[in-house]
Structure 1
Amino acid sequence: MNEDDQGGRGVGKRRGRPSVAERLESGDLSLDGATELARESVLRTLTAAPRSRAELARALARKGFPEHVVEPVLDRFEEVALVDDAAYADMIVRTRHAERGQARRAISMELRRRGIDTETAGEALSQIDGDDEAEAAAVLARKHVARTRGLDRDKRVRRAVGALSRKGHSPGVAFAAVTEALRAEGEDEGSGDGFPSTTTEAAADR
């Protein structure tokens, strides 16, 4: 295929909109203009839901904003407390634990995905202690056990323990909570296929 053919095939194709970085480089957009666009983008995002600094930086990068525009904008948002990773992490820990029954392990993974640094995440996670996790596991266990009434006991145990594990609870904590929920229902304690045979063994995994 010759160059004329290639050029002919290219006719009608729409060129993608230039990125902010490209517009800055070409002189089509001033630094002040790019800064204002970044500021407006961050405000729109925060109006919808809070975000971490890292999440906002990633979003702006995807939109083509260069780092030398992004960083001062986010610095300013932090100065006026519209971006606050510590408060954001605290909120995530509270809601995930109270509303979803998630354990520290699962919440820690989410904080990491959202770009919260280790120290800030650790401080936020300190809101949850072992007793809090055990209570959350107990609530979840009762809920999941209630959904499987009438099924074989081992199947009930596997399903409930699996559900708690997906919330970040260790196998031992999950099995102990499920065993107690079944006992409260009047089920005889059993080994549960593939799981610790006693609450004591389960507790050892905590």
Structure 2
Amino acid sequence: MERTPRERGGSPESRASREPPLDPEERARALCLRLLTGTPRTRRQLADALRKRDIPEDVAEHVLARFEDVGLIDDRAFANAWVESRHHGRGLARRALARELRNRGVDAEQVSEAVGLLDAEQEETTARELLRRRLPGTRGLERAKRVRRLAGMLARKGYSEGLALRLVREALDEERAAGLDTAEEEPWLWDAE
């Protein structure tokens, strides 16, 4: 049986009015800790959250600097973990990862270092794996439509047009050689280099 607010010691509003209000620094610390509990965040993400809650800028700067000093905010570690997670989990290329990190407020030098952890060979291997998983779903479509869909999927994940088209052509050639492709051939797609 659920208890009424009166049985629980009053309404939430009356309990809040009995507690002294937190000073801006305590509010800032509490907000940052709450936000960092769910998922890692960048310094800028936390600064934006503090700004939205009307925490004075000098107080926010002090709290954020303290959180950096004790290691609760580390944009470099955030960027490295982000690249590792999003590349392996979603197959994103360096270009897409860099854009996401910049949007989260990571410093350009740290973005370069983090995406630099991926080399071209690793990126190509991931793109091939994405194609391997998506290729069967396009069987039976016209070759031109397959090329557009598969290259478009890779482009949305941040792969360059040249790499995407080359890998799609190779995958479709391998499929054709294995006798898995039943669509009519359109030679003009294979002649364009």
TM-score (norm 2): 0.81
Which position in structure 2 is the counterpart of 1:146?
136
Q: Which of the numbers 145, 151, 163 marks the counterpart of 1:155?
A: 145
Name structure 2 gaps, 5 residues minimum.
1-19
How far, CA to CA, are the matches of 1:54 and 1:146 in structure 2?
42
Q: Is the 8 A contact 2:86 2:97 kept in 1?
A: yes
2:139 aligned partner, one-letter code = R
Structure 2 residue corresponding to 1:62, chosen from 28, 32, 52: 52
Kindly state the Cα deviation for residue 176 of structure 1 after the two structures are TM-superposed.
Answer: 1.2
1:21-74 deviations in Å (ceiling 9; x for gaps): xxxxxxx978xx210110000000000111000110011101111111100101
CA RMSD of aligned residues (A): 1.8
Q: Distance in 2 between matches of 1:191 and 1:166?
A: 24
CA contact (8 A) 2:83 2:114 kept: yes
Which residue in the other structure is 2:165 paired with? Answer: 175
SS at match of 2:82: helix
Counterpart of 2:123 (choices 117, 120, 133) is 133
Give the letter aligned to residue 103 of structure 1: A
Partner residue, 1:44: 34
CA–CA distance in structure 2, aligned partners of residues 97 and 191 of structure 1: 33
Rate the CA distance shift 1:38–1:197 in 2: closer, same or farther, 3 A: farther
SS of 1:150 mapped into structure 2: coil
State the TM-score, normalized to the length of structure 1: 0.76
Corresponding residue SS for 1:143: helix
SS of equivalent to 2:98: helix
Q: 1:116 aligns with which of 106, 131, 135?
A: 106
What amino acid is aligned across from residue 100 of structure 1 in structure 2? R
Aligned pair count? 167
Give SS of 1:102's match: coil
CA distance in 2, matches of 1:189, 1:137: 24
Structure 1 unaligned regions, length at least 5: 1-27, 202-206
With over 3 angstroms needed to count, the CA separation of the structure-2 counterparts of 1:117 and 1:191, relative to structure 1, is farther
